[in-house]
């Protein structure tokens, strides 16, 4: 199958409506026919996903910044994680794309 690609303009957040949002929604388990609006349901499902994946996303971010010291001394990234919560900034997006198969959702849209 031909690889499709679309450009994602970040952040993705509530009340936006686009093909990118539809891909995000399919990634989060909605059906393609459920639409392309980032609504309250989308936000709730995204926050649940971010909660479930918080530790892995944090580890991914540390690897991305080439941190290899002791975990206790690692940067907390509290601000980055907080500003990402309930919306998709580069932090969630890169993790979804590189580790979690975001491209598979694109194939279904």
Domain ranges of the chain: 19-108
pLDDT (0 to 100) of residue 31: 97
Each residue of 22-81: pLDDT tens digit? 999 999 999 999 999 999 999 999 999 999 999 999 999 999 999 989 988 999 888 888
- Report the half-sphere exposure of 94 (CA within 13 A, side-chain side): 14
DSSP 8-state symbol, 71: G
pLDDT (0 to 100) of residue 4: 74
Confidence of residue 2 (pLDDT cuts 50, 70, 90): low
CA–CA dist 109, 95 (Å, integer): 20
């Amino acid at each position: 199958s031909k690889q499709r690609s679309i450009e994602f303009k970040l952040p993705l957040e509530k009340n936006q409506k686009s093909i990118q949002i539809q891909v995000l929604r399919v990634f989060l388990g909605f059906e393609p026919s459920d639409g392309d609006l980032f609504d309250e349901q989308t936000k709730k499902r995204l926050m649940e996903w971010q909660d479930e994946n918080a530790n892995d996303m944090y580890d991914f971010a540390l690897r991305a910044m080439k941190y290899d010291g002791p975990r206790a001394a690692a940067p907390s990234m509290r601000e980055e994680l907080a500003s990402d919560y309930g919306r998709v900034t580069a932090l969630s997006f890169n993790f979804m794309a590189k580790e979690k198969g975001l491209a598979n959702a694109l194939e279904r849209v």
